[in-house]
Amino acid sequence: MTAPRRHMSVYERAIEKFARTPAGYWFVRNVAPRVDPPLLRISGGRFSSVYPAPTMLLTTIGAKSGRPRTLPLLYVAEGDSLILIASNYGRPGHPAWYRNLTTNPRVEVLAGAHSGVYTATEITDAEERSAAWQKALDLYAGYSDYEARTGGRTIPLIRLRRR
């Protein structure tokens, strides 16, 4: 049995409903990744194209290139840590940023009051992962759509802790 979801405004429900349509899926894969970095930089990590969903700019170091790689991601705040969902929009493979932080777990985050340097670790404990997954679904129910598309891939959940 799933826990009841948090209260969402009419606006939040409309954004989530749109994001789960083919047009919304296209938007979050093709438009938001281009629009959100400047929006997040200008606003100090407080505003994105999917506001009020918590969105960060995550900077990792490329696993192969060794170069900084920055991209916008949704996150769940949990106490002093942040949780990332490596859904890759439901594709069968893990996202590149996940591979980057398994090689180099030190990351930089631009996310308003949560901005700073963090260390990434994958959530592997089954109970902890289950609780984190429920929080991810509470943030965006569309993660269940992504999970169904993965072809059986377990979507990694990553905990970021401040350094």
Instruction: Quickly name the fold that domain 10-162 has.
Output: Pnp Oxidase; Chain A (2.30.110)
Coil, strand or helix at 101: helix
**pLDDT tens digits, residue range 49-60?**
988 889 999 999
Integer Cα distance of 153 and 74 in angstroms: 20
Q: What is the pLDDT of residue 100?
A: 97
**pLDDT tens digits, residue range 131-155?**
999 999 999 999 999 999 998 899 9
Counting residues of the chain whose pLDDT is more than 70, the rounded percentage is 98
Q: Which residue has the higher pLDDT, 9 or 108?
A: 108
Residue 112 has pLDDT above 90, yes or no: yes
Integer Cα distance of 45 and 36 in angstroms: 9
Q: What is the pLDDT of residue 2?
A: 58
Measured at the CA of 18, the angle between CA 91 and CA 41, to 5 degrees, comes to 75
- Least confident range from 2-16, 44-58, 103-117, 134-148: namely 2-16
Q: What is the pLDDT of residue 6?
A: 82
* Token pair belonging to 135: 């929080």
Q: Which residue has the higher pLDDT, 118 or 152?
A: 118
30: which DSSP letter?
I
pTM of the predicted protein model: 0.91
- Upstream peptide bond of 95 is cis (omega within 30 degrees of 0): no
**pLDDT tens digits, residue range 37-51?**
999 999 999 999 988
Could you state, in order of their start, the residue ranges of all structural domains in the chain? 10-162
61: Cβ contacts below 8 Å, ≥ 6 apart? 67, 68, 69, 100, 103, 104, 106
